[in-house]
Structure 1
Amino acid sequence: MNGIIEIEGMEFFAYHGCFEAEQIVGNKFTVYACLHYDCSRPAESDQITDALSYQTAYEIIAREMMKRSHLLEHVGQRMLNALYETFPQLTYAKIKISKMNPPLGGKIGSTSVTLEK
């Protein structure tokens, strides 16, 4: 049985970007995760130990967000790699990282990078 877990609206303050100011001042980011997985065991057993843990997924994402990087693509790749290493039942994952109010010289709500694996 296929299942989909979506973790929406995760907010972080981190230091990602190519500009020196971004590495010093930091910025607000939001992250969305969509995780497809085989949910046959937890659907039958009703045991949390058989399920893909939302808490663990969040902790992985939060940990990777705290590691400084120049590119959001690099952050997203680390997230995907760690999620697949932790959850063998994953069949597909999508991560969207948005930088709020990026310093591009104008009024911009956000820029985003989406990675899928």
Structure 2
Amino acid sequence: MDKIILENIRLFGYHGCILEEEKIGSHYIVNIEIELDLKKPSISDKLSETIDYVNLYRIVEKEMNINSKLIEHLAQRIVQKINKRYKIIKHTKVKICKENPPMQGNIDRVCIVLYE
């Protein structure tokens, strides 16, 4: 199966269960991977026969601006919006990483991956 992948989308958001996360916010890295048949657009060279990755980015950006306690919930919203808008998608994978999570210990990020 063919794929469109957006890697390392860097955004800022206010997601988390701790009050400080809601006030201070954090940096996030989002990766989107969608599976679909790209044979037709690869031959025709027509944007109308594929998915414009600019629109995928805008969906992620819009959902990042809606606060969630869990990044799992944020990922689910992103998957739902993408799949609802584009019926030609076979599978969607979203990975969200929170940079410098507020926890004791030396850790760069925590990540979740959601498949649908």
Bin of the TM-score, shorter chain as denominator length: over 0.9
Which ranges of structure 2 fall in alignment gaps of 5 or more residues?
none
CA shift for structure 1 position 56: 0.4
Q: Supply the distance in 1 between the matched residues of 2:87 and 2:61 (Cα, whole angstroms).
A: 20
Question: Which moves more between the two structures, 74-83 or 32-41?
Answer: 32-41
Question: Which moves more between the two structures, 42-51 or 30-39?
Answer: 42-51
Which ranges of structure 1 fall in alignment gaps of 5 or more residues?
none
CA RMSD of aligned residues (A): 0.9
Q: What is the count of residue pairs matched by the alignment?
A: 116
**Where do residues 18-97 of structure 1 align in structure 2 (5 Å cutoff)?**
18-97=17-96
The residue type paired with residue 89 of structure 2 is L
Q: Supply the distance in 1 between the matched residues of 2:86 and 2:68 (Cα, whole angstroms).
A: 24
Which aligned runs of 4 or more in structure 1 are off by greater than 3 angstroms?
none
Seq. identity, %:
30
Matching residue of 1:107? 106
Q: Supply the distance in 2 between the matched residues of 1:30 and 1:39 (Cα, whole angstroms).
A: 26
CA shift for structure 1 position 57: 0.5
Q: Give SS of 1:90's match.
A: coil
In the superposition, the TM-score normalised over structure 1's length comes to 0.95
Q: Supply the distance in 2 between the matched residues of 1:66 and 1:107 (Cα, whole angstroms).
A: 28
Q: Give SS of 2:80's match.
A: helix
